[in-house]
Structure 1
Amino acid sequence: MSIVINEENNQQVSKWCIVSMASIPLVMTLGNSMLIPVLPIFEDKVGITSFQSSMVITSYSIAAIFLIPVAGYLSDRYGRKIVILPSLILAMIGGIIAGMASWRMADPFSWIIVGRILQGIGAAGAAPIILPLVGDLYKDDDEKTSSCLGIVETSNTFGKVLSPILGALFASFLWFLPFFSISFFSLISIVLVFFFIKVPKQKEEPPRFRTFYEKTKTIFKNDGKWLYTVFFIGIHLMLVLFGVLFFLSDIFEKQHSLYDVKKGFVLAIPLFCLCVASYITGRTIKGNLKIMKSVIMLSLIISSVSVIFVGYTSNNLILLLIITSLLGTAIGAILPTLDAMITEGIEKEERGTITSFYSSCRFIGVALGPPVISMTMNHFLNLTYMVMGIIGVFLLLLVWKCIKTDNKEQSVQ
């Protein structure tokens, strides 16, 4: 087993440590995305509307949005692992509550939402903390940081590929089994984190809240242009991704007669493209800011054009899969690039907090995507996708203007 040595902290980073870190975004992704292909089943079994079923996704994300910055601050002050482990336990408990309610109650919707909120709280303190943890382990080594972040983001996107398949497979046995499976996967991640992640010891006393607040305010004052640009891109990408996935889950059944595991495999095709693009990009960028900016701009062009045609090609399954695969490829290329840009552009002491704000922004997009599409799907679908494309062009202009790559210092101004 090869081991990477972080000389400054005399810290051994084993393959099992990397696997343990990668398991967290994988589990959290499964915890949300696995339910998307079975939402139509929930509507039938629980007797809820399309908008209510979208709340199964949105309630998870809303809980995470508000608590991720808190978790980021706590991880900066008290340690990454101390925050991650209780969060994973909460995610496990939330899955049990949602699963038991679905199994034993005649009207389980309210308790499903309670369980999903608990899972969202758990997600807030787990997956977002991995980004600063990677930066801690590979301090001052941008190439290894980018490579490891690529693995972590690929694990996230690989979870998205597995999610529709596993979700549909579990639901084909028992419609509420996906809830229990989330708890099982969380337990595996808890064991891995407990035994294999060795967090570098803090050499200095963490700052008090007032000092932390002033430093955070200074960061946003000095680096706000590029940080806000990255945040807005994160919101946009997740809104587009989860909105399109919600639409595909519905349209595959209603227009193309795809059900159960077959539907899961077809839904996984654009997500597989996203996963491959994420892995290749993470291995390629290697901390090079000029490459990062080029990847973001090119991918925004592709995503902005392709999303416009999602609705227009919905009647033709092959064309729809080509368009959504292009969209998935573009999103997959951007995600690890944004991760690396933030992790490498922020000092260690504030890294957890800033990356947590970024993760909150991504969850805003996750929360908005399904309900936006559910409300516009019947009458304004093509207009909605066109607006998404226009927003992508606007973000492209922001990247061109606000992210500088003359040198490393200027890149975060």
Structure 2
Amino acid sequence: MREVFDVARASGGNQNSVWVLSILSAVPLIMVLGNSMLIPVLPTIESELKISSLQVSLLITLFSVPAGIIIPLAGILSDRFGRKPVIAPALLLYGAGGLITGFAAIWGGGAYWLMLTGRIIQGVGAAGTAPIAMALVSDLYKKGERSNALGIIEAANGLGKVVSPILGSLIALISWYALFFTFPVLTVPVALALWFFVSEPAKRKDPPPLSRYKENLVKTWKRQGKWLLVAFLAGALTLFILFGVLFFLSDFLEKRYGIDGILKGLILAIPLLAMSSTSFWAGHHVKQKTRIMKRFIVIGLFMLAAGMAIVPFVTNTYILMADLVAIGIGSGLILPCLNTLITSAVGSEERGIVTSLYNSVRFLGVALGPPVFEALADAKYLLYLGNASLATITGLLALWTIKKPERIRNPHGRTRLIMGKKRLRTT
């Protein structure tokens, strides 16, 4: 908690209040509930609606895929018209999608496709929440405080993942479809608090034409595309593995041990708590030190590789849980460091779109995890050793592409970080 107060005091004025940082942290926390809260009840939904495992996994996929597609558009809108005018309506849309899904669930299995429609609407709303909140945090906090604040945001995201299986299991004691009615209860107060209590830096009255916006983005990608591509891959792969493993663990606990309800939620929360705690610590520790961020990213990817390589050969449940905790720790090392690198490496005019593109591939990683792990459940060596190989290759690419940061000044006079071999002077 002391770190939260340190960040809150760092930038002065209204923006430095713990209240403001708490509101911003609530956005990713609520967003992550959209998928994680359903994980422990997916087998129940499958049974109640009499649908297949693949069909029930679509409740995750059809939330994440639309979010991944719409996020870049939300980023463009936030760059041109402000972050709050995107985040607040998106939260309300996210809640409305939950209502539609909940009412469809009450009607029973015949309304399965309407449930999917509600999940799609939720995904569209989610596109304008956490990714844009990350860009807003980057606008509000500078230098070393930015990595600390982003670490808190990523920790809030992780905390949502920790709380959500337990919360999902508790709410499911009332009814499994009661989960979906939780979303509007949470999103409406946060949307109102964000609108009235968070002030963002003023945007220019006349937004630049889209052609200039495209030019800036193309220049950024040409200059830094090599390491940005690796960073995007690392973020997507980390969440692909994390959500795939959670889907596997939920099914494993129920089918092998008959563990369900709150106990299953508590067990699912263990690797997520490891990730959240590590994210909080890493965000506070790295500051703007690219060498440390690079080290954490590479170590985290190698931990994911080792963890995935071990899974097919483990028969002891306690060793399996320890392995999944190691995967959670590796994920916690990777994600806050990627957040800081990406948001600090681009100027404020294109920060929204670049951050959104990054979050888009993260969502796609989440979307693909459960169905791929389900489809390849019988080919466990291919699944787990293949992911271990991907994580190893990505770690080696990160080791090669992430360089010492530089600062240059763009034509509009704003200073930004770049990755390169030579240090340029700021003019």
Q: Which band: TM-score by shorter chain?
A: over 0.9
Identify the residue that residue 152 of structure 1 maps to in structure 2: 153
Q: Report how far residue 401 of structure 1 moved.
A: 1.3
Q: Which residue identity lines up with residue 125 of structure 2 in the other structure?
A: G
Identify the residue that residue 396 of structure 1 maps to in structure 2: 395
Q: Is the 8 A contact 1:5 1:11 kept in 2?
A: no
Equivalents in 2 of 1:178, 1:381: separation in Å? 31
105-114 or 82-91: which moved more?
105-114
Deviations for 1:29-86, whole angstroms, at most 9, x for unmatched residues?
Answer: 0111100111000100111100111100000011111100000000000000000011
Identify the residue that residue 261 of structure 1 maps to in structure 2: 262
User: Which residues of structure 2 form unaligned runs of 5+?
Assistant: 409-416, 421-427
1:166/1:406 Cα in 2 relative to 1: closer, same or farther (>3 Å)? Answer: closer
Q: Is the 8 A contact 1:161 1:271 kept in 2?
A: yes
Identify the residue that residue 376 of structure 1 maps to in structure 2: 376
SS of structure 2 residue aligned to 1:310: helix
Map of 1:156-175 to 2, 5 A cutoff? 156-175=157-176
98-107 or 296-305: which moved more?
98-107
Give yes or no for the alignment of 1:15 onto 2:14: no
Identify the residue that residue 312 of structure 1 maps to in structure 2: 313
Q: Which residue identity lines up with residue 360 of structure 1 in the other structure?
A: S
Identify the residue that residue 327 of structure 2 maps to in structure 1: 327
Alignment equivalent of 2:92, drawn from 89, 92, 102: 89
Map of 1:135-146 to 2, 5 A cutoff? 135-138=138-141, 141-146=142-147
Q: Report how far residue 190 of structure 1 moved.
A: 1.4
Identify the residue that residue 419 of structure 2 maps to in structure 1: 412
Give yes or no for the alignment of 1:111 onto 2:110: no
1:406/1:230 Cα in 2 relative to 1: closer, same or farther (>3 Å)? Answer: closer
Q: Report how far residue 171 of structure 1 moved.
A: 1.1
Q: Is the 8 A contact 1:289 1:411 kept in 2?
A: no
Q: Which residue identity lines up with residue 123 of structure 1 in the other structure?
A: A
SS of structure 1 residue aligned to 2:201: coil
Equivalents in 1 of 2:344, 2:89: separation in Å? 27
Identify the residue that residue 247 of structure 2 maps to in structure 1: 246
1:208/1:6 Cα in 2 relative to 1: closer, same or farther (>3 Å)? Answer: farther
Q: Which residue identity lines up with residue 402 of structure 2 in the other structure?
A: I
Equivalents in 2 of 1:120, 1:287: separation in Å? 32
Give yes or no for the alignment of 1:357 onto 2:364: no
1:197/1:114 Cα in 2 relative to 1: closer, same or farther (>3 Å)? Answer: same
Q: Report how far residue 244 of structure 1 moved.
A: 0.4
Q: Report how far residue 411 of structure 1 moved.
A: 5.4
Identify the residue that residue 30 of structure 2 maps to in structure 1: 27
Q: Is the 8 A contact 1:5 1:12 kept in 2?
A: no
Equivalents in 1 of 2:193, 2:66: separation in Å? 25
Q: Report how far residue 224 of structure 1 moved.
A: 0.2
Equivalents in 2 of 1:316, 1:257: separation in Å? 16
Q: Which residue identity lines up with residue 381 of structure 1 in the other structure?
A: K
Equivalents in 1 of 2:64, 2:367: separation in Å? 5
Q: Is the 8 A contact 2:88 2:192 kept in 1?
A: no
Q: Which residue identity lines up with residue 359 of structure 2 in the other structure?
A: S
- TM-score (norm: length of structure 1): 0.95
Identify the residue that residue 99 of structure 1 maps to in structure 2: 102
Q: Report how far residue 309 of structure 1 moved.
A: 1.7
Identify the residue that residue 343 of structure 1 maps to in structure 2: 343
Identify the residue that residue 73 of structure 1 maps to in structure 2: 76
Q: Report how far residue 103 of structure 1 moved.
A: 1.2
Equivalents in 1 of 2:218, 2:326: separation in Å? 38
402-411 or 345-354: which moved more?
402-411
Equivalents in 2 of 1:196, 1:278: separation in Å? 26
1:39/1:204 Cα in 2 relative to 1: closer, same or farther (>3 Å)? Answer: same
Q: Is the 8 A contact 1:11 1:137 kept in 2?
A: no
Q: Report how far residue 274 of structure 1 moved.
A: 0.6
Q: Is the 8 A contact 1:289 1:408 kept in 2?
A: no
Q: Which residue identity lines up with residue 195 of structure 1 in the other structure?
A: F
User: Which residues of structure 1 form unaligned runs of 5+?
Assistant: none
- TM-score (norm: length of structure 2): 0.92
Equivalents in 2 of 1:211, 1:395: separation in Å? 32
Q: Report how far residue 203 of structure 1 moved.
A: 4.3
Equivalents in 2 of 1:37, 1:312: separation in Å? 25
Give yes or no for the alignment of 1:44 onto 2:47: yes
Q: Report how far residue 168 of structure 1 moved.
A: 1.1
Q: Report how far residue 106 of structure 1 moved.
A: 4.7
Equivalents in 2 of 1:104, 1:399: separation in Å? 49
Equivalents in 1 of 2:10, 2:205: separation in Å? 21
SS of structure 2 residue aligned to 1:202: coil
Equivalents in 1 of 2:406, 2:299: separation in Å? 21
Identify the residue that residue 123 of structure 1 maps to in structure 2: 126
1:318/1:290 Cα in 2 relative to 1: closer, same or farther (>3 Å)? Answer: same
Aligned length: 407
